[in-house]
């Protein structure tokens, strides 16, 4: 990858609006109260609406809908609310791109984020941070489509025909989607762990130091791509253990994993449709 080619386009990356940046800084503070978070979120009607839709989604929802940010805080807890605020802010900050089905894009993104979050819980990795990484992990695709729309369309068509996205991006652009996504996450002041998770999601074993976030994203993508309805749970466990080993994951609780992933299946797709 030619890093100079990527860095030369950095001014074309989207900037977080000041109000959104301040909101993210506030919700990530350990010294802020739930009441203060509710008040901050409520100041932005679009983010408030997205947070409430997520709180009432199939993954987070319960039998009774919540109708206010205060209720969402009580239902979800502070950490989950922070995660949803971040997700909502990111979705609002990135423009829709011509030629990309944005509902499909965010649906697949949330689906993988939920898988990665579950894997993180079983691997001793911070699950909510991994979920945030999942929300951002494909952001580079949208940025490439914004910066180089014609080349992006060529890459999408070639991948659908069986080509390698990594090879095509490197050849045609001089950089790849995870690298530009990581650059954006860094410019938005996300943590080094999260940035590494995005940058090395396709090749987690190349991260130095090791990136457990990248391993979670790599495995979530494997599950999404190669889910087999005909594979029984025992076969899935054996297959997935091999994938985890290849991703550099030393320890993961596999007990009931297939059942849990089956329960999660489709919920991220639905969340994305509600937000796009």
Task: Please check the confidence at residue 82 and state whether its pLDDT lies above 90.
Answer: no
Encoded tokens for 113: 């984020």
pLDDT of residue 1: 47
Average pLDDT over residues 230-254: 90
Rounded CA-CA distance 38/80 in Å is: 13
Among 193, 213, 55, CA closest to 119: 213
pLDDT band at 4 (very low <50, low <70, confident <90, very high): low
Which residue stretches of 161-232 are H helix? 165-173, 177-187, 192-199, 212-226
The proportion of the chain whose per-residue pLDDT surpasses 90, expressed as a percent, equals 40
pLDDT, one tens digit per residue, over 181-233 is: 998 888 888 899 999 999 999 999 999 999 999 999 999 999 999 887 788 88
Contacts 24+ apart (CB under 8 A), 116-121: 116/216, 116/217, 116/219, 116/220, 118/257, 118/260, 118/261, 118/264, 119/216, 119/219, 119/220, 119/252, 120/212, 120/216
Encoded tokens for 135: 């929300």
pLDDT band at 119 (very low <50, low <70, confident <90, very high): very high
pLDDT band at 245 (very low <50, low <70, confident <90, very high): very high
Tell me how far CA of residue 265 lies from CA of 252, 255, 262, in angstroms: 20, 17, 5
pLDDT of residue 2: 54
DSSP assignment of 85-129 equals: HHHHHHHHHSPP-TTS-HHHHHHHHHHHHHHHHHHHHTTTS-HHH
pLDDT of residue 218: 97
Rounded CA-CA distance 116/260 in Å is: 12
The answer to whether the CB of 113 falls within 8 A of the CB of 128 is no
Among 184, 183, 185, 148, CA closest to 168: 148
pLDDT band at 30 (very low <50, low <70, confident <90, very high): confident
| Entry pTM | 0.87
pLDDT band at 7 (very low <50, low <70, confident <90, very high): low
Contacts of 196 (CB under 8 A, 6+ apart): 182, 207, 211, 213, 214
Task: Please check the confidence at residue 169 and state whether its pLDDT lies above 70.
Answer: yes
pLDDT of residue 6: 62
Q: Give the mean pLDDT of the chain.
A: 86
Residue with tokens 């095509």: 168
What is the maximum span of the chain, computed from C-alpha positions, in angstroms?
A: 52
């Amino acid at each position: 990858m030619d890093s100079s080619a990527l860095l030369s386009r950095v001014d074309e990356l989207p900037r977080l609006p000041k109000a959104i940046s301040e909101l993210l800084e506030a919700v990530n503070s350990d010294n802020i109260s739930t009441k203060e978070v509710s008040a901050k979120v409520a100041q932005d009607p679009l983010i408030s609406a997205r947070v409430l839709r997520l709180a009432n989604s199939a993954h987070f929802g319960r039998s009774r809908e919540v109708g206010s940010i205060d209720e969402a805080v009580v239902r979800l807890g502070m950490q989950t609310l922070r995660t949803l605020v971040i997700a909502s802010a990111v979705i609002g900050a990135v423009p829709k791109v011509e030629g990309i089905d944005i509902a499909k894009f965010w649906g697949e993104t949330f689906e993988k984020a939920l898988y990665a979050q579950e894997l993180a819980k079983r691997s001793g990795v911070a699950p909510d941070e991994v979920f945030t990484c999942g929300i951002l992990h494909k952001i580079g695709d949208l940025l490439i489509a914004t910066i180089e729309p014609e080349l992006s369309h060529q890459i999408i068509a070639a991948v659908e025909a069986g080509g390698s996205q990594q090879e095509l991006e490197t050849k045609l652009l001089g950089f790849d989607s995870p690298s530009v996504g990581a650059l954006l996450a860094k410019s938005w002041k996300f943590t080094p762990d999260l940035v590494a998770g995005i940058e090395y999601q396709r090749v987690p074993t190349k991260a130095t130091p090791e990136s457990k976030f990248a391993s979670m994203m790599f495995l979530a993508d494997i599950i999404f791509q190669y889910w087999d309805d005909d594979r029984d749970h025992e076969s899935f466990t054996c297959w997935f253990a091999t994938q985890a080993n290849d991703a550099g994951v030393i320890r993961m609780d596999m007990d009931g994993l297939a059942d849990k992933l089956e329960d999660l299946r489709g919920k991220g797709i639905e969340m994305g449709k509600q937000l796009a």
